[in-house]
A and B are shown apart, each in its own frame.
Chain A
Amino acid sequence: MKELKAVLANWEAVIGLEVHTELTTLQTKMFCSCKIEYGAAPNTHVCPVCLGMPGALPQPNKAAIQSIVLAGLATNCQIQRRSMFYRKNYFYPDMSKNFQTTQGPVAFCMYGGIDLEVTGAAACERDQRQGTRPLASGDGYVTPIGIQRIHMEEDAGKMVHVGGESGRITGADYSLLDYNRCGTPLIELVTKPDLRTPEEARLFLQELRQIFLALRISDCSMEQGSLRCDGNISLRRRGSEQLGAKTELKNMNSFKNLHDGLAYEICRQAKVLESGERVLQETRHWEPSARRTVSMRIKETADDYRLFPEPDLAPYDLSDEFVASVRAMLPELPAARRTRYLSDYELPAADARLLAADNDLAAFFDSALLAASANTDGDLSASGLGGGKGGQAKSVRLVTLAKQLANLLLNDTQAYLNVHNFKLVDTSLTPEHLVQLAALVADGELSSKQGKEVFAQTIKEGTSPRDTVNHLGIKQLSDTDALQAVVNDVLARFPDKVQQYRAGKTGLLGFFVGQAMQATTGQANPQLLNEMFMQTLAE
């Protein structure tokens, strides 16, 4: 099979995504008051409504409507004031009523879109003449991705097929049903066919996940299935405007699988087309282990779901006040956060992206800098910290501190959390302590190695970094008079090396610094030593 890059040289892939997101942060289901809980004992969160018992009627969850309106506003959709629920009729045992309550032609959110930033090596996969604009940094492009609609629906239960080889229904001895998930509020977002490469699809889904996480409407776990994505994909010759026959791709339950599944499918379709055959309109299943897609069912005509307005639920008339109240709840979104980190703190682009992507880290980062600005002994109060609303001169110290903080959060903290499988809130770390530590390192009072030592103590015990420094007697030696003696001593001990250095073997500087560090049992400020050796040797 041909390489993706080679295929994309001749073919343009047209990709649209359907993204299902369970509103897991809600307390209760879409149409009843059963609890939403992942991993609970089977069929313990069920009632007559979500079990579809005779005579039961749906009672819509207002918080779910709030969530979908949030999602719509965050993705620049038009919020439809009047929309309705519909019944999508099909027989499947995981759907207790044998119809899914979903929305019809008009969804709560219509016609939105986001600007997607594409950077890195994969940026070359797209023909960038098409409606994109280059990134300011020059290493990628921005392209608008349209969103057709976001509609509200309910999730189905889970089936476990026992016996048989595949774990799928075909060939199973029997199947078990768990209706805990049945009736969980689900929003389905449908993009326009604006995506052109698997990497764009992957980045789009990541961006969307970050937005939904920032909105706190879902835990967006692809592993647990609260974020699921199907792809629709077709190929056309570069330059052609006509859409080809598409396939629908399922089972792409991670970002990598989304990328790899689409990449495979693009190559497969190209091969089919290049051999003069036609692509069948069908649903295909991505098999990550075999790294291929297999046909699930041919789908030449659309399924007949006998959609009709749900008579048990009155049409919705969202008031302007309601929409305004939801708009007022919108938090800062990842894209805005990213821009702020870049412009206000001059964080490296990668750091800004990573920090902005994580709600907890970003909030921690922001409140740490806020704490620093509130601290009267700092010189940050005049620097526009906390608001960070451009225009004001950025203080050098602020930028240094922010960089140090980002480091501590993205490396040390993240590593600690990963090792212990903790969340940030599970630790004793406070924003005040972390910014104190960042200041100690930034001011050269601690070496970065010492910083790590103090960090370990701080996050574990919840002690303040200053106390830890005093308690453990860790202190970076920055007294130039004391250090000069050490420098002189080292140079005196290795006259031959001094000669070699002066003859041009400047790499020996590291050797001298190392000796000096040893002599001070690691407490000297290596940066300072570096300078001092250079200066002394130059004399």
Chain B
Amino acid sequence: MNFTEYAALRVADIRAGLLKGDFTAHELAQAAGDAYQVMDGPLHAFLQPTPGLAQARAEALDQRIAGQSCDAANRRQKGSGTLAPTGQARFTDTVSTGNAFGAHTNHSLLPNNADLRLAGVPIAFKDNMNQLGTRTTCASRMLENYESTYTATCVDRALAAGALPLGKLNMDEFAFGSSTESSAFGTTQNPWDLSRVPGGSSGGSAAAVASGITTVALGSDTGGSIRQPAAFCGVVGFKPTYGVVSRYGVVAFGSSLDQVGAFGRSVGCVAAATDAICGRDVRDCTSQDSAANFEAAALAGVEQGIKGMKIGVVREYLSLSGLEAEVIRALEDAIGHLECLGAHIQEVELPNARAALSAYYVIGPCEAFSNLSRFDSVRYGYRQCGANNLNEQCERSRAAGFGPETIRRVMLGSYLLSSGVYHTYYYPAQQVRTLITQDYQRAFASVDALLTPVSPRTAFSFGEITDPTQMYLSDVFTIPINIAGNGGLSLPVGLGSDSGLPVAVQLIGPQFQDENILRVAAALEARYDIERLAPLYQRLLEAKGEDAYRVVNKRQNANERQRVDEKGMQSNNNERCCPAGQQHLAANNPDPENERGRAKDS
């Protein structure tokens, strides 16, 4: 299987292909491994690849499929047809051992078997998701060597559904950021343009899917951390309603805001992945039963259309400063398409949505402060030795183990929750939250879904945005629905007419009616003939391998340094709270500049 063939596969294609015996899970795992080998150098989407786990799962799956075969005599030999762009030996070694997947295969095994709805589907997980056999670092020094002691429910369900785990993906440290620049282990590059950020905090997830390394990826979304990187990388990203997917095992940022979701290069892929991971989990008592079938909803959107559905648009959103013309144009195009599909466009008002940002920057840090308290160097995680007592050890370890953005959030949360301050910020923030939730309830009384921008602009360059306020504003369209709890999906609608970079629109649904979103998204998707695969692979081939990666890395490091110099405030902050930590970083971190990622939000 060559890269082009591999990258063209959707979840449904993979199930059908396995069923028909076009390829084996083993071949898929190998193709994924090859794609990783070629692209992840310049991309740096992965923090920890797990080719061994993927292969083991693939072989078990192939055996399971073979075991279900009724007629072994009908096996047909199938070559792997590999094309090894890097000429690596293991590519050419993959002459198939034979696909034990006969003509008389038990057809009930795959597509209709809910247990195996992701059979053979390459998947990768954001590195805040626990998976046995991997480290779960949250892209933080604090957890650099932390080995998962159990598996998160979403990971567990994806694997139980037959997915092949390719590895753990880069992110902003503890998901604090919108560019993946605050990762302690280096930035991830946007596969459309390596000089640009992939968005964040699930930047690794978006980049891994957009580049074609993996078919689907899981991420988490606290204020837009799935939808914004999906938009920046031109893939589909779906954050379901809070409670649809269990958060158990996903390292918490803002417990009342976090939601797990999927990335894919099509609405169908994302729907299938969400079907596999959703539903009530006794280990997360905020999770809900879900009777939804997202894949069926997406299919209905294509087959039955959306004629008569009512789609709301928010007029006041279009006049927000900083909203780029190409984003407005893309939104207007989408409205046109929806009208062509027979949907009714209706204006709605979200009068309190603008307060969402403020509420978010109170609630998020407060919950984060408390959630991150457990990283105290006592039981696990980074420990700075040589302290005189326990408090000192804890302080030093946290100062050195956390990056500056994490320290900022923790300090902010600690302040906002302190007595006297609590009633000035946290309490009103919760009241605002109620108002915003009511806004959406009112809006959805008259429409089936909302159409809004995802991000006011396309992917920015490393170091381009230095004003934190402007950075915060970039989440203005995604944060309100985390505050309200509704689901949202980022749908790529092509390359921007000015920037030439991916542009997306956001579809939002009523709480626990995420099927609406997928139905509309699938119908709308069919109207666009656009490429979801970033051109990275082709470019790398053209640029002749290894040398190209080095160029990219050098440029990247130069960007990092420049940015850190501009961030004097962050350095001061760091000095004040953790002189010991800085010494440690200087001594042990080969690339200390990376520690000082920018102040941004997820």
- A residues adjacent to B (C-beta < 8 A): 48, 51-60, 87, 89, 91, 93, 96-99, 169, 175, 177, 302, 304, 306-308, 311-314
Bound CA span A58–B252, Å = 12
The answer to whether B422 touches A99 (Cβ under 8 A) is no
B251 interface residue per 8 A CB criterion? yes
Cα separation A99 to B369 with both chains bound (whole Å):
11
Residues of A near B394 (CB, < 8 A) are 91
Judging by beta carbons under 8 Å apart, are A308 and B150 in contact?
Answer: no
Instruction: Out of B129, B373, B418, name the residue touching A91 (CB < 8 Å).
Output: B373
Is the CB–CB distance between B285 and A55 below 8 Å? no
Chief secondary structure at chain B's binding surface: loop
Q: Does B376 contact A (CB under 8 A)?
A: yes
Name 7 A/B residue pairs within 8 A (Cβ), A-sorted.
A48-B149, A55-B251, A57-B285, A60-B285, A98-B373, A306-B419, A312-B286
**Is the beta-carbon distance between B373 and A99 smaller than 8 angstroms?**
yes
Q: Which of B143, B247, B367, B390 contacts A57 (CB 8 A)?
A: B247
- From 391 to 421 in chain B, residues with beta carbon under 8 angstroms from any chain A beta carbon are 391, 394, 414, 417-419
* Set of chain B residues within 8 Å of A307, measured between Cβ atoms: 417
Flag B371-393 by CB within 8 Å of A: 1 or 0 each.
00111101110000000001100
The complex places the Cα of A98 from the Cα of B418 at a distance, in Å, of 16
Chain A hits for B146, CB < 8 A: 54
Q: Which residues of B contact A169 (CB under 8 A)?
A: 390
Instruction: Known A-B contacts: A54-B130, A58-B285, A306-B369. Give 20 more (CB < 8 A).
Output: A48-B150, A53-B150, A54-B138, A54-B375, A55-B247, A55-B248, A55-B250, A56-B150, A59-B282, A59-B285, A89-B370, A98-B376, A175-B390, A306-B414, A306-B419, A308-B366, A311-B254, A311-B255, A312-B252, A314-B286
A247–B61 Cα distance when bound, in Å, is 67
B256 nearest CB across to chain A (Å): 4
Complex: A58 Cα to B256 Cα, angstroms: 14
User: Which residues of B247-271 have CB atoms within 8 Å of chain A's CB atoms?
Assistant: 247-252, 254-256
**Which residue of A97, A177, A314 is within 8 Å of B373 (Cβ)?**
A97
* Residue in A48, A55, A91, A96 whose Cβ sees the most chain B Cβ within 10 Å: A55
Picked from B284, B379, B390, the residue with its CB within 8 Å of the CB of A52 is B379
- Nearest-neighbor residue (CB-CB) of B257 within chain A: A311
0/1 interface trace, chain B 352-367, chain A, CB 8 Å (1 if under): 0000000000000011
B285's partner among A53, A87, A175, A312 (CB-CB below 8 A) is: A312
What chain A residues lie within 8 Å of B286 (beta carbons)? Answer: 312-314
Residues on B facing A (Cβ under 8 Å) = 128-130, 136, 138, 143, 146, 149-150, 152, 247-252, 254-256, 282-286, 366-367, 369-370, 373-376, 378-380, 390-391, 394, 414, 417-419, 422, 426
Task: Give the residues in chain B near A48, CB-CB below 8 Å.
Answer: 149-150
Bound-state CA distance A279–B249 (Å) is: 50
Q: How far is the CB of A157 from chain B (nearest CB, A)?
A: 10
In the A-B complex, the 3 residue pairs with the smallest Cβ-Cβ separation, listed nearest first, are: A98-B373, A306-B417, A311-B255
Inter-chain contacts of B370 with A (CB < 8 A): 87, 89, 99, 306, 308
Q: Which residue of B is nearest A52, CB measured?
A: B374
Are A55 and B152 closer than 8 Å at their CB atoms? yes
Q: Decide yes or no: A55 and B373 within 8 Å by CB, A93-B378, A96-B379 being known contacts.
A: no
CB neighbours of A54 from chain B (8 A):
130, 136, 138, 143, 146, 251, 374-375
Cα–Cα distance between A308 and B367 once the two chains are bound (Å):
9
Q: How far is the CA of A87 from the CA of B422 in the complex (A)?
A: 14
Q: Select from chain B the residue with minimum beta-carbon distance to A32.
A: B283
CB contact between A56 and one of B138, B248, B376, B417 (< 8 Å): that residue: B248
What separation, in Å, do the CA atoms of A54 and B283 have in the docked complex? 14
Give the distance in Å from the alpha carbon of A58 to the alpha carbon of B285 in the complex. Answer: 8
Closest to B413 in A: A306
Contacts of B378 in A (CB 8 A): 93, 177
CA gap between A175 and B285 in the complex, in Å: 35
**Given contacts A55-B136, A56-B248, A57-B283, is CB(A311)–CB(B367) below 8 Å?**
yes
Residues of chain B lying within 8 A (CB to CB) of residue A52: 374, 379
Provide the residues of chain A in CB contact with B249, threshold 8 Å.
Answer: 55-56
**B199 → chain A closest CB, angstroms:** 23
A15 to B479, CA, bound (A): 50
Chain B positions within 8 Å of A308 at CB level: 366, 370, 417, 422, 426
**Contacting pair B373 A57 (CB below 8 A):** no
- Which residue of chain A lies nearest to B430 when distances are taken between CB atoms in the complex? A309
In whole angstroms, how far apart are the Cα atoms of A177 and B417 in the complex? 29
B419 & A304 in contact (Cβ 8 Å cutoff): yes
- Chain B residues whose CB sits within 8 angstroms of the CB of A314 once the complex forms: 285-286
Q: With A and B bound together, what is the CA distance between A56 and B284 in angstroms?
A: 9
Give the Cβ gap from B103 to chain A, nearest Cβ, in Å.
45
- Measured CB to CB, the closest approach of chain A to B432, in angstroms, equals 15
A385–chain B nearest beta-carbon distance, Å: 49
B419 touches A98 (CB 8 A): no
Say how far A162's CB is from chain B's closest CB, in angstroms.
14
A89 touches B136 (CB 8 A): no
The answer to whether B376 and A306 have CB atoms under 8 Å apart is no
Bound state CA distance, A51 and B254, in angstroms? 20
Complex interface: chain A residues within 8 A of B374 (CB): 52, 54, 96-98
Q: Which of A51, A56, A304, A306 contacts B379 (CB 8 A)?
A: A51
With A87-B370, A306-B370, A314-B285 in contact, do A55 and B128 touch (Cβ < 8 Å)?
Answer: yes
CB neighbours (8 Å) of A313 from chain B are 285-286
A302–B419 contact, CB under 8 A? yes
Q: Which of B283, B367, B370, B417 has the most CB of A within 10 A?
A: B370
Interfacial chain A residues near B128, Cβ < 8 Å: 55
B247: chain A residues at CB < 8 Å are 55, 57
CA distance A308 to B369 in the complex (A): 11
